[in-house]
């Protein structure tokens, strides 16, 4: 029996075929490896025909097709002749007739699309955000965005004052956002007037869901990345998130179900680590009991979920974006984002978010504390549809809007949760009634969410 087994760097084949040059290509592009000819899938030696001839033919074929050198050794095991082909990892990309193959785990993959782009950049020692963009110039940058960065950097103290006082070109150079006569992709995302002209999908989508297939309303946030972060956080807290009521003595306090700083850190992580090759926007799904943040991305090579959630070094997918956000004082540079999120959640009385790393990206799920949901008059996540009072407005669809109007005429400062409590309806029913009245032009909300009021229209 063999002393080893198939793995990331070991593969067995019973006989030689020229198509196995793809496997050698995959080893060369990954961590190197050994291809053994003459061993079956169970690891048993079955021998190989014409071993001596293949000792000469295989190195020549590898050289002619792949352009690399390999060691081919003749082994004898249990009276059977085997060939051992050893491939070293290569610093430059190796192709098989124009195809790029890669060894991942115990499988071989052909790299295409975004995966191929990442692979080629990595072999050149580059990252996606550091690629120069023909046609992108200083004229495509927003003066307001550059000034915003300067203001933030002054407060953070992380950029030399002389650089901040210099021109825009000098500032971009100090942030390593230029390459000779060209500006890099990160420039378009950080300061561009129209980032999506250069990077499709560079925006954020938010939706409010009752259930996974019941979307009630949604928003899109576009612009430079700094303003996307600010606008998204503001929109979440003025339109999407619910608060619960508590009291300190006679003082009435409103507290959001989810900690702002944890959401901020999660959003920053999504923006900085996103795989912008995907062309897919960051997606935030808001429910009454949870928030789900998804962004396309990939785990650093060799990392596991355990390592990601534990103490780890900073390995941003887009280091130029990370550097700019660090200089502006938005983030730290030590890979402590997950730790900060967990700490904020603990201080807020909720569990840290769940992390689900799929092939296409990372999903974070924040869940509200059931006690906070009850204080806010909302059903818990474990409450079944039959147990929630969603059937009430169906039975009395006409009375609820009129009841809402009658109460708001006398008490325009009431929240919808207060309204629901006063008339004995569910918050959902009152929200639907208010939305119907707004659509009919009979009701509108004036001012900010906090401090604003309802206005009944004739």
For residue 131, CA distances in Å to 117, 127, 191, 202 come to 11, 7, 16, 16
Q: Which of 167, 198, 229 is the last residue of a domain?
A: 198
pLDDT at 396: 33
pLDDT at 201: 94
Q: Which of 180, 198, 216 is the last residue of a domain?
A: 198
pTM of the model: 0.70
79 plus 147 within the same structural domain: no
189 phi and psi, to 5 degrees? -75, -40
Q: Can you tell me the distance from the alpha carbon of 90 to that of 93, in angstroms, rounded to the nearest whole number?
A: 7
269 plus 329 within the same structural domain: yes
170 plus 313 within the same structural domain: no
Residues, the chain, total?
458
What is the total count of domains within the chain?
4
In a domain, 380, yes or no: no
Which residues are within 8 A (CB) of 162 and not within 5 positions of it... i.e. 6 or more apart?
none
Q: Which range marks the domain in which residue 448 is found?
A: 389-456
In a domain, 270, yes or no: yes
185 plus 288 within the same structural domain: no
In a domain, 41, yes or no: yes
Q: Can you tell me the distance from the alpha carbon of 142 to that of 417, in angstroms, rounded to the nearest whole number?
A: 42
pLDDT at 386: 42
pLDDT at 422: 57
Do 356 and 365 touch, CB atoms closer than 8 A? yes
pLDDT at 393: 34
In a domain, 448, yes or no: yes
SS3 361: strand
In a domain, 378, yes or no: no
In a domain, 52, yes or no: yes
147 plus 255 within the same structural domain: no
363 plus 398 within the same structural domain: no
* Parts of the chain with a pLDDT under 70: 1-6, 246-250, 334, 358-359, 381-400, 409-411, 417-428, 447-452, 458
103 plus 32 within the same structural domain: yes
Do 219 and 283 touch, CB atoms closer than 8 A? no
364 plus 413 within the same structural domain: no
91 plus 17 within the same structural domain: yes
In a domain, 2, yes or no: no
258 plus 402 within the same structural domain: no
268 plus 394 within the same structural domain: no
Q: Which of 322, 344, 372 is the last residue of a domain?
A: 372
304 plus 424 within the same structural domain: no
- For the chain, how far is it from start to end, CA to CA, in angstroms? 88
In a domain, 4, yes or no: no
CATH code, 414: 1.10.10.10
């Amino acid at each position: 029996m063999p002393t080893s087994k198939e793995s990331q760097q070991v593969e067995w084949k019973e006989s030689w075929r020229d198509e196995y040059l793809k496997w050698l290509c995959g080893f060369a592009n990954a961590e190197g490896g050994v291809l053994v000819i003459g061993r079956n899938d169970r690891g048993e030696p079955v021998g190989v025909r014409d071993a001596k001839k293949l000792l000469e033919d295989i190195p020549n074929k590898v050289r002619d097709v792949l352009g690399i050198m390999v060691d081919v050794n003749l082994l004898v095991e249990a009276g059977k002749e085997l060939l051992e082909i050893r491939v070293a990892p290569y610093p430059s990309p190796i192709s098989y007739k124009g195809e790029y193959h890669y060894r991942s785990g115990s499988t071989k993959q052909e790299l295409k699309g975004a995966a191929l782009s990442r692979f080629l950049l990595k072999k050149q020692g580059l990252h996606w955000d550091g690629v120069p963009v023909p046609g992108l110039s200083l004229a495509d940058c927003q003066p307001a965005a550059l000034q915003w960065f300067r203001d933030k950097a002054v407060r953070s103290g992380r950029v030399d004052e002389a650089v901040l006082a210099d021109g825009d070109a000098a500032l971009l150079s100090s942030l390593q956002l230029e390459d000779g006569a060209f500006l890099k992709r990160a420039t378009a995302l950080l300061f561009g007037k129209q980032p999506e002209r250069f990077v499709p999908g560079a925006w954020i989508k938010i939706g409010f869901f009752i259930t996974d297939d019941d979307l009630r309303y949604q928003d899109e946030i576009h612009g430079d990345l700094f303003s996307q972060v600010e606008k998204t956080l503001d929109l979440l807290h003025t339109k999407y998130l619910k608060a619960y009521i508590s009291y300190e003595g006679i003082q009435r306090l409103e507290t959001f179900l989810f900690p702002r700083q944890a959401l901020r850190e999660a959003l920053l992580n999504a923006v900085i680590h996103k795989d912008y090759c995907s062309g897919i926007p960051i997606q935030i799904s808001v429910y009454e009991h949870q928030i789900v943040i998804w962004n396309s991305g990939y785990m650093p090579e060799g990392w596991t979920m355990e390592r990601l959630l534990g103490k780890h070094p900073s390995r941003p997918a887009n280091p130029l974006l990370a550097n700019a956000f660090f200089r502006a004082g938005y983030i730290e540079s030590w890979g402590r984002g997950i730790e900060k999120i967990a700490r904020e959640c603990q201080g807020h009385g909720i569990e840290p978010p769940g992390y689900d790393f799929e092939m296409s990206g990372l999903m974070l799920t924040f869940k509200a504390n059931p006690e906070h949901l009850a204080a806010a008059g909302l059903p818990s996540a474990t409450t079944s549809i039959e147990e929630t009072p969603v059937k009430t407005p169906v039975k009395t669809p006409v009375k609820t809007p009129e009841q809402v109007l009658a109460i708001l005429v006398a008490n325009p400062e009431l929240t919808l949760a207060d309204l629901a409590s006063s008339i004995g309806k569910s918050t959902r029913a009152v929200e639907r009634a208010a939305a119907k009245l707004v659509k009919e032009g009979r009701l509108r909300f004036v001012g900010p969410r906090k401090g604003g009021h309802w206005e009944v229209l004739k």
